A and B are shown apart, each in its own frame.
Chain A
């Protein structure tokens, strides 16, 4: 997927106007630093459309609050000592799927960024960013967009493009994978692409061999996990 950010200094891709919410956007802040939590809380107070409903300082507390309060947005630095890291994101993804997570971090390396993206984060703010970013990012994510600090936008955009190149899949093989993900049978794929069923089977065998897989289910899960197709 091509990331889209709200209008502003980040990303440069236009998105929808910010919409005033009828009910305030409910936010939980998870960070070990009381100074940081207070600073963000005070910052968000200026916007009547935003309300902080909880704060937490460690992973288990964050998860418990997410279950209990079902916030719209979770601002979290998962890389702080007690915040649980990527395991927290995994638990949130399965235990609090409606909550949109925005990572707020001092730094993040490429591997961590890709893993966090695969676990479904909706935004990423570097702690060095201007404070005015926070309310904008929250509104953007709540309206269904993604928010990424400019410094990381290139990594984010390249993520999908590189996935297919990494596995040396041909354009035809990517077409076949797309059709498998759509639930199409070999016959349906052959008709759609104007090739024979035997050719479809040959392509699938090549794909399975390249990726070390053996079933359509495995192929679908692999393709979703690695963002092989858009």
Chain B
């Protein structure tokens, strides 16, 4: 990242999501924080750095579902095991805001 480029703002939004690697089943998780360029989320299993995942992110506010969702591809950049949960950091490769089907 060039020095003059500002890091994208991170939002403390706990949003539900599903993720999977190519050909695998979906796993559920939840964002710890998220920005326009990436996210930190709870995961069920550790994934190697560089692993590409497919993501469906639910948008909700105060527990109410919005009529849209985010469909994205992302690449794992870091794994953060904590005492109680596994957190994975990923950067978006692409993303789309779509009406919920």
The interface of chain A, by Cβ under 8 A from chain B, is 1, 60, 63-64, 67, 90-91, 93-95, 97, 118-120, 180-184, 213-218, 220-222, 224-225, 227
Which A residues touch B98, using CB under 8 A? 183
| Interface membership of B97, Cβ < 8 A | yes
Verify B8–A218 contact, CB threshold 8 A. Answer: yes
B61 touches A1 (CB 8 A): yes
Given known contacts A94-B31, A183-B100, A220-B70, what 17 new A-B pairs fall within 8 Å (CB)? A1-B61, A90-B33, A94-B32, A95-B84, A97-B30, A119-B14, A120-B63, A180-B97, A182-B99, A213-B36, A215-B36, A217-B36, A220-B59, A220-B97, A224-B13, A224-B59, A225-B13
Which of B8, B14, B32, B68 is the one whose CB lies under 8 Å from A181? B68
The reply to whether B42 and A1 contact each other, CB–CB distance below 8 Å, is no
Question: A217, B14: Cβ atoms under 8 Å?
Answer: no
A182 touches B68 (CB 8 A): yes
> In the complex, A225→B35 CA distance in Å?
11
A60, B62: Cα distance in complex, Å: 25
Contact B31 A181 (CB under 8 A): no
Q: Write the nearest CB–CB distance from A15 to chain B, whole angstroms.
A: 15
| Bound-complex Cα distance A215 to B38 (A) | 13
Which residues of A sit under 8 angstroms from B84, Cβ to Cβ?
60, 63-64, 67, 91, 95
B12 to A119, Cβ gap below 8 A? yes
CB of A227 within 8 A of CB of B61, answer yes
List B contacts of A94 (CB < 8 A): 14, 30-32, 41-42, 85
Query: Is there an interface contact between B68 and A118, defined as CB atoms closer than 8 Å?
Result: no
Interface string of B6-41 (1 = CB under 8 A from A): 001101111010000000000000111111100001
* Residue in chain A with minimal CB distance to B42: A94
In the complex, what residues of A have CB within 8 A of residue B9's CB?
Answer: 218, 222
Contacts of A91 in B (CB 8 A): 84
Asked whether A183 lies within 8 Å of B14 as measured between CB atoms, the reply is no
Instruction: Please determine whether A221 and B34 come into contact, CB atoms closer than 8 angstroms.
Output: yes
The answer to whether B36 and A224 have CB atoms under 8 Å apart is: no
The answer to whether B83 touches A1, judged by C-beta atoms less than 8 angstroms apart, is: no
Residues of A within 8 A of B30 (CB): 93-95, 97
Among A60, A97, A118, A221, the most chain B Cβ lie within 10 Å of the Cβ of: A221
A166 to chain B, nearest CB (A): 15
A224 and B68 form a contact (CB under 8 A): no
